[in-house]
Every structure is written in structure tokens, then in C-alpha cells.
Structure 1
Amino acid sequence: MKPVPVIIVLVLIIFIYKHSYEDESYEPKALSSEIQVVDNSGRWFEWKTIRGVVYDLVQNRAFKELERLVNEVRTHHYKFYNTDAVLFELYNVIVIDFPDYPAIHAFIGEWREFDPQSNIPDILEARAYRAKAGDLRGNGYASLTSEEQFKGFAKYLKLAQTSANKAEQKGPMDAELCREQIGLAFASLKDKPLALSYFNKCMEIDPGYVHTFYTMRKFMQRIWYGSDSELQKFIEQAATDTQAIYGEGMYAILVAAHTFNTRKIFVNNGGPYSWKRAKSGFQHLLQKFGPSTFVWHKYGYCAMLAEDYDAFGVVLEAIGTSWDNDKQTYFKKQPWFNYHLRRWREYNQ
């Protein structure tokens, strides 16, 4: 048998690498023209207004109006330009200006006394207990976490579970309560089948509630209750199931969220995910929801990881090249950004 000429081998290697890197099997799809762009401008739930409006209602203990706002958002599933659900942020801002957990729980007690049948105080209580559990546990590795921290974590998760179950019994089950139940099923009960059943319920309530997918992404990692392959399958299925809402946007933001746990994310740097598909997703989000600091910076972060300097240039046109607070928030390390900024400039020479 004659040896294969070296030049043929090199051509084959280049061909295989190029097609693997570009992920030619994926063809991006445009969003349907029937999908309406979310426009929150001028309403109480507009991104820059919500905190002030809710703050005044909380200070005046206007529980009836607060309940009306929560029920309005539960019904209409409003989204902000950055894809965050208004319901998620509404629950956040109701308690955000209280100085500590005792003050939050005192407020919850007042609301419960005003309307014992409402499950909104129970949902707020479940979230507060779960947040307290997280504070006690911390973000460190299990090997670096003390027995006392774990005990506090378990104690407050159990309290959160009791409050969440009470809220579910009263009803209605909204998307945020359902999301909380997913997290508690995983973290407190360690019951993966129950968590998955709650996920299915959440999809019936609001299939576009992005925070449900964030919670599932967290717990489907191998460091929790999943595996690398299971997580990838979940992200791909989530993108397929939300095509009508986000195009490929769900794929993009879940992959971008996972970069917190690994930088080996795209094919070009040893990861399993498609940059071409993520790139299309960021474009879909900007097309449907309009300009968003969150989306632009996530797009830029992933473009740097993918070393796509055409896409990075598009992002820089929107966010500028100077280091600022937003870049500190999303990119973290200025030297890393400067490295890619220099490479982008060299690429365009």
C-alpha cells in the first residue's frame, strides 16, 4: 500500500477542523414576524420605574394594590428587555429595601394579617428563607463548608419548603412559586423526579419564564444532580421548546450562564456547545426585545470565548471600548478584555 501524501492528510485535517468549528449542521432560523416585541415603556413595570412604584406601595402598606400588581403580572407574563420576568423582579423589589431578614418577616406578617387567604406572603417567606439558607451555606466547595454551615442551610431550606407548600395549597401556583419548588425539590428534598415534575408544571404556567430554566441549568450540572451530557441535552431541548418565544435566545443565555462554571464552552476551545447557534440566539434576543445591556455583554463575553472578532466588533459598537462598570460586572477581568480588544484591533488592520 502506498503512503498517503502528506498534503492530502493536511487538507483532510483542515477540512474536518473547519467544519467542526463552524458547526455546519446548524442553520439559524429567523424569528416569526408574528411575534410581537415586548414594549414596557411608560407602564408601572417599566425597568427603571418598578422599584420606585413598589417602594411607595410597601412604605404605605398598600397590600391590596401590591396584590393587584402581582396578579396582573401573573396573568400576562410580562418580560423586560433583558428577558427577565417582571414577576421575578417584582417579588425581589417588594422586599429589597428592608434592612434585614427580621424586617422582611415582620412585613410578611403584616401582609398575612391583612389577607390570610393570599399566598403572596407565603411565597415571599419561602424566598426569604431560601435566601437565608444560601447566605449561611455560602458559595464555597462542600469540602470547605463547615458542618455548622450545612446545618443552617438545611434548617432554612426546610422552613422555605414549609412556606412554599403552604403557598401551593392556597394557590394559585404562579411561575415563581413553581420555580422555587424546583429548587427546593433538588436542594432540600434531593428528589430529582419531583423537581422534574415541577418543571413540567412550570412549563404549563409560563413556558417562557427564563428563571425556571436558570434554576434547572444550575441543578442539571454534574456538581449537583445531573451530568455534562444531561445538561447539554436539557439546554438544547429548552431552546427547541422555546423557539416561538425566543428563537435561539434560550440556547444563548443558558450557554452564557454556564460559562460561569467553565470557559471550555464552545467547540473551538474544547467545549460541546455551538457558537453559531448561540450567536444566532443573541441576535434573536436583540431583534425581539430591543437593546439590552445584559444581552449585549453576554454576547460580547461569549464572542471573546469563541474568538469571533467580527461578532465582537458588532458588540463593541454597542457597548464601546472603554472599561466601565458594566464591563466590570459582566467581564470581570480587565486584562482579559484588553487582550481580546487588542486581538480585535489586530484582526481589523
Structure 2
Amino acid sequence: MLSDVPLDLPVRPVLPALLRALRAAGDAVLVAPPGTGKTTLAPLAVADEVAGRVLIAQPRRVAARAAARRMAGLLGEPVGERIGYAVRGERRVGRATRVEVVTTGLLLRRLHRDPELPGVGAVLLDECHERQLDADLALAFAVEARGTLRPDLWLLAMSATPQTDRFAALLGAAGRPAPVVRAEAALHPVTRVWAPPPRPVAAPGAGRVDPALLDHVAATVRRALRERDGDVLVFLPGAGEIAAVAGRLADLRDRIALLPLHGRLPGAAQDAALQPTDRRRVVLATAVAESSLTVPGVRVVVDAGLSRVARTDLARGLGALVTVPVSRAAATQRAGRAGREAPGAVYRCWS
């Protein structure tokens, strides 16, 4: 399958070393920065080596569909033939499918239902550095299944961060760590522009985001459109804030395509945000666009500096979504979206 793809991406030179490691040990860790092609080329290379189907797990539905479309496009065929995907409520696979992209939650359910994974030759866990509960459980179940039921099953963890010691130790067997293969790639330069609000805004916590901050984000988007070329990707904490900022930019709709991208949208609407259009685009997204997928045409990122995460109130024993300042690592990931295809810029709405 890989021989059918002429595209030369930074991960391609290390794929022979990765396959040698998998043949020798049956497990490995692939470290590759965003934009190197690990999500699209590594599964095709593994599929050439195993007899069964290759399952590649993505943390989000939109990323699973996008990865399947990308691989199928590289092979020049529609999704559902050699490349398929399965997410909650939707599955496109066929008898000839060799690579199936699934969400980590779906992989976890399959491992719970039948840990032997009949017909599967390899399991690839993408973006495992995000350390989500589903991904951690799926990795642990896959390691246990390989150790007790399927010693022939290949396991590959793929990460964009260099801190891989724990993953290598977990995947390895008989006291030896799994081999680590690294792909190097230099992203295009991204210029940082500090754009804090003119006055301090209240910390949101469990409450709503200060409307003054949303006004400032909309103004920063307008500034970025004036000062830079290319499409603009805007990071906001949730769907409510996306709708609010879209309303503040409504007067631009006659010349700019305003596209939301978050987990509550139907699949078709999510996919539309990843497709080029004949107009300049402003994509208003939550953290789903931080990793796992490329939004084509983006040269500018506007980062509100907030993220919505699940937290547990131990006093009440209840969970809640809380808006918190974005971590440094996540801010770096967001900024990198502007440098995937060409030099870009990130406007950070904090000081």
C-alpha cells in the first residue's frame, strides 16, 4: 500500500527502521512532530507487513474521519475500500478494507467485548501523549491482550512529544522497553503576536466567559485578517463561545466563510470545516483542532487562551466542565497549526 503513495513526508525515511523494530519486538513507539505524516503513512507501511487488518485509534471522531479520507485520497480511491473508518453511529468499511480508523472509545469497547481482536494484525494508538482516559485504558487492554492472548499482535504507540519513556516501558515485555523510533522535521516559522485585552477580564472558572474577552477575540480576528494572508483558525473553549464570536463577525459573511468546528456538530458540518473553499475562511474551533488533523490553508491562529476541561468536585461527588487557562504545551500545539504548510503567525490574546 505504501508503494502506491508517491508523497514524500518527513516520516517516510524512518519507516524501514520502524518496521524492523516491529518485526523484532512486536511493539514500538514512533515519535514524530505534527505535520510529519505519521498518521497517514505509518498505517500504510504496517498494513504491508501484517496479514490482518490494521486498527488505528484516534482520540476524536472528526480526526478519525479526516485521517481515513486522507489515506484513501493518497491511494486514489474512496473511503470504504482499502481504507475505512468507524465512529459512534457511523461505519464505512468493506471486505477489502486493510486499514480501519476508529476512535479510542470504539477500540476500547472492542477490546472489552473480545480481547483477542480476531482478524486484526496490528493496533496503532495515535496522539497517545494526550493521556485521555479512553486512550490509557485502550493501551493497557491492548498490552494485556498481546501478553496473554495475542503474542503475534503488533502494537505501535505514536506521539508528537519526545517524553516517551513511560510508553516504551509499558509496551515492552520481559523487562525490556519497546524500541523508540524518531522522525525529525522542522515546522515552518510561526511569528508570535501578543494581543492581550485592553483591560483585565474576569477568570471564568465554572461560570461564563467574560463577554469583553469575546469582543476582544473578534477584534483580534479582524486585525489578523487585515495584517495577514491565508485562512484563520480561532481557538475558543466551547460551542457557546464559538456561536458568540461568530455573531460578532456576522458582517464578514459576504466575503469570509465563517465555519464552526466542535464535537457537538454533525459529522458533515465537521468535515466541511476541513475542506478548502473559494473564499477566505475563518474556522472557529475548540480543542478538537489542536492535534490529530490539519486544517488546510491556515496561516494564522488566534488563541483565546482558554480550554474547557472536565473536573470533579470532590465535596459534591459531581463532575463539571470548567474553563481554565490553556497549558503551555497546548498553546504550543495551537500555534503550530499556523506553520503546518507555510510560515504563519499566532495572535495570543494574553500577555
Coarse TM-score class (shorter-chain normalised): under 0.3
Which structure has the greater CA radius of gyration?
A: 1
Of Structure 1 and Structure 2, the greater helix share is in 1
Structure ranking higher in strand proportion: 2
Task: Using CA pairs under 8 Å that are at least 6 residues apart, name the structure with larger relative contact order, 1 or 2.
Answer: 2
